[in-house]
Structure 1
Amino acid sequence: MGYAKVFVGVLFLFVTLATTSAIKCTTNTTTTNSTCRSLIDYVPVNDTVLSAVKSLFQIKRFHDLLGANDFSTSTLPNQTLPAKQRIRIPFTCRCVNGTGVSDRAPVYKVKKDDGLYNIAFFTFSNLVTYQEIAKVNGIPNPDKITVGQELWIPLPCSCDEVEGAKVVHYGHVVESGSSVDQIATVYGTTPAILLNLNGMANASQLLAGQVLDVPLKACNSSVNSSSLDYPLLVANGTYVYTANDCVNCKCSSGNNYILQCEASGLKPSPKTWSTCPAAQCNGTSSLYLLGNVTTASTTCNQTTCAYSGFTNESIFTTLATESTCPAGGPTGSPTSSPGSDASKNGMQGFRWNFLFISIQLIILCFTLS
């Protein structure tokens, strides 16, 4: 029995280490635009549906969940999300005292037979610890929560620039068998940047289940500083709706990381406008509609009617000349492409990991007993 207790203790230690987040956020929260868009993985324990995920994380609009995962706009809320299949959760991040947390959301209402550990480990798939939930909610005794009590779940995040570049911070839940080099390659960054962002001395500290801060490159845009959605950071491989849902903007490495925006075709939300304002450049011709390419040349430059922001009264556009030449930037930047699409799946190869260690410990316990 003594050896079994030792094993359980070691197992608990490994689980704790594997799920501890080291995401930092030093952005000055006293300045304007102190919040930012962030993403984090959610890996459900059981089968669920997309509408339940939306509800759990209190995502205001279903198409925000679709855009964060580049799902088709025709995807239905009742689509099944199988157990253990990850999905990206979009949320608003705020920096407080050097730590980034979700901006007072999501809020979870305690149910019968709930405990803080179960809420953290099972309901929210260990994205946070029960101690973190207790701390931000001012709960002195984690064993004492009441049915109906509302708990703020502080998802880890960051708004910091990375080597001078604005990025979208993505809380990536590390898969068993992954390595720092593989993750850096897949998401278009460098091992050194990942180690630095996550306070890791070396790559051997990477653990399965860890929430790893991964900086995703955001597309360049023409949005001006007076716009209500400035800075509009859209991560590679995602899309967002902006301007009260009247505009859809997509980011893709295939477009040289230049934001592609067009009229969404949706009704305005919230109901600031009864209909979406016109979004055109230099006149009323259909050639100048938002998103249309107006001119092109043999020098691989093109002029597009680009989205440049909105106020409560109007949607703004500008004629933007963009290069469509193949990307070939330096590879040492925080989000530069390593020569292949940053969204491709290339995580292969295995190393000694938590599962293998656990098996060895079990064998050891039986040998010594």
Structure 2
Amino acid sequence: MSYAKVLVGVLLFITLATTSTAFTCNTTTAKSTCNSLVDYVSPNTTVLSTIQSLFQIMRFHDLLGANGFPNFTSPNETLQAQQRIKIPFTCRCENGTGVSDRAPVYTVKKDDGLFHIAAEIFSRLVTYQEIAEFNNIPDANNISVGQVLRIPLPCSCDEVEGVKVVHYAHVVQPGSSVDQIATEFGTTTPILLNLNGMTSATDLQPYQVLDIPLKACNSSVNSSSLDYPLLVANGTYVYTANDCVNCKCSSANNYILQCEASVLKPSSKTWSTCPAMHCNGTSSLYLGNVTTSTNCNQTFCAYSGFTNKDIFTTLATESTCPAGGPTGSPTSSPGSDASKTGMQGFRWNFLFISIQLIFLCFTLS
């Protein structure tokens, strides 16, 4: 093997091993958890049930909804090697950053190393240093078969410029640009730069985990509901109200949350059947029904929340005219000086190590 190939491999290792994935999360409400998403790229061909098991996703239809897959998709559906899939999980905000709440955990197997677990099994969503620190492992080279590790997936519950969003941890692929990523996910370059503490688009690194704020559909869910705030990102759907209600979000519906009675059985042991979902006190108007439609507006029966006893609805009006003008994507304040300094420090350290390795290769040749 040539020294040049060795050098490339070592530099790639340094990049993957030292890039931090921590997201800022300063939410201080009593309920400091939220629903978040991360990328996952399987190194091998697998099936959806294996992905569900790896990330301990309790409900299979949550995995389907996060990816907009049909609700009749089989757990044995094949996922091709290198195919990207979104993983839904609960994020907890603490000490100024967000991490996955309790799940996933991983049990160490024979021949596992922390770098292998971070870079290959969990698709570079975390670094091996972060796993070691989060699990109080003093020596990253010393782990045992059967040892149970918590995997701190990066996430956030923060609003972005006063707007509630679904934070999505996206692993940057080689050749990607900030502009391309912004366009793909319906945001803007300044938003991504500010949210991720980057001073310019040239700061973007391959395999960097980027915090992307996904726009969520507007809803009629009130603050007293057990699922408030119900944030559903564009192209996804969720089951709520003990699985009695299915809500989906689509930009084609002008980002108005569309909810209807689901076909699932209630997940609550106190509900033998789903409560009635009549609207406006009538027995003929149900959740999701449209009552009137004039010009570019229509009035429909919208989901407004649930309690341990009831599911609530309300009449709401939405515009059916084609969306136009500004996208309305949220903006955020610039990243802290500390985060910028940290990234600049990484780049200088990377350059210094690279020069040393190049000098070493010429010395040995």
Measure the CA separation in 1 of the matches of 2:157 and 2:104.
18
Structure 1 residue 281 and structure 2 residue 279: aligned? yes
Gaps of 5+ in 1: 336-357
Secondary structure of the equivalent of 1:105? Answer: coil
- Which of residues 271, 274, 293 in structure 2 aligns to 1:296? 293
Q: Distance in 1 between matches of 2:63 and 2:309?
A: 27
Match in the other structure for 1:103: 101
2:24 match: secondary structure: coil
Secondary structure of residue in 2 paired with 1:54: helix
Aligned mate of 2:301, from 287, 300, 305: 305
Q: How many residues align?
A: 339
- Normalising by structure 2, what TM-score? 0.87
| Conservation of the 8 A alpha-carbon contact between 2:22 and 2:97 | no
For 2:113, give the aligned amino acid: G
Measure how far apart 1:150 and its partner are: 1.6
1:14 is matched with 15
Q: Distance in 2 between matches of 1:281 and 1:32?
A: 31
- Aligned CA distance change for structure 1 residues 305 and 204 (closer, same or farther; 3 Å): same
AA matched with 1:64: D
1:1-369 to structure 2, matched below 5 A, reads 8-16=9-17, 19-28=19-28, 31-286=29-284, 288-298=285-295, 300-331=296-327, 333-334=329-330, 369=365
Q: Deviations over 1:45-64 (max 9, x none)?
A: 11111000000001010000
What's the CA shift for 1:331?
A: 4.2
Q: 1:244·1:272 contact (CA, 8 Å) conserved in 2?
A: no
Instruction: State the secondary structure of the residue aligned to 1:171.
Output: strand
> In structure 2, what is the Cα distance between the partners aligned to 1:14 and 1:111?
25
**Structure 1 CA distance, aligned partners of 2:325 and 2:56?**
38
CA contact under 8 A between 2:124 and 2:171: conserved in structure 1? no
CA 1:208–1:270: 2 relative to 1, 3 Å: farther
Structure 2 counterpart SS, 1:295: strand
1:211: how far off? Answer: 1.1
Task: Report the alpha carbon displacement of residue 66 of structure 1 after superposing the two structures with TM.
Answer: 0.3
Distance 1:329 1:37, change over 3 A: farther
1:355 matched to which residue of 2?
none
**Is there any run of 5+ residues in structure 2 with no aligned partner, and where?**
332-353
Shift of 1:33: 2.2
* Contact 2:108-2:149 within 8 A present in 1 as well: yes
What is the TM-score when the length of structure 1 is the normalising length? 0.86
The 1:222/1:329 distance shift into structure 2, 3 A limit, reads farther
Secondary structure of the residue aligned to 1:175 is coil
Q: Is the 8 A contact 1:190 1:332 kept in 2?
A: no
How far is the alpha carbon of 1:118 from its aligned partner? 1.6
Q: How far off is 1:368 after superposition?
A: 7.8
CA contact (8 A) 1:228 1:310 kept: yes
d(CA) in 1 for partners of 2:162, 2:226: 23
Counterparts of 1:142 and 1:216, CA distance in 2: 34
One-letter amino acid of the counterpart of residue 307, structure 1: Y
Contact 1:22-1:199 within 8 A present in 2 as well: no
State how far apart, in whole Å, the 2-side matches of 1:16 and 1:53 are. 24
Alpha carbons of 1:256 and 1:7: their partners in 2 closer, same or farther (altered >3 Å)?
A: closer
The CA distance in 2 between the partners of 1:205 and 1:156, in whole Å, is 19
- Which residue does 1:354 correspond to in 2? none
- Give the SS at the match of 1:120: helix
Task: Say if 1:332 and 1:268 are closer, same or farther in 2 by CA, change over 3 A.
Answer: closer
Q: CA deviation at 1:296?
A: 1.0
Question: What secondary structure, in the 3-state scheme, does the structure 2 residue paired with 1:112 have?
Answer: coil
Q: 1:175 to 1:272 in 2, by over 3 A?
A: farther
**Residue 13 of structure 2 aligns to a residue in which SS?**
helix
Aligned letter for 1:40?
A: V
Determine if contact 1:22/1:198 at 8 Å carries over to the other structure. no
Give the drift of 1:207: 1.8
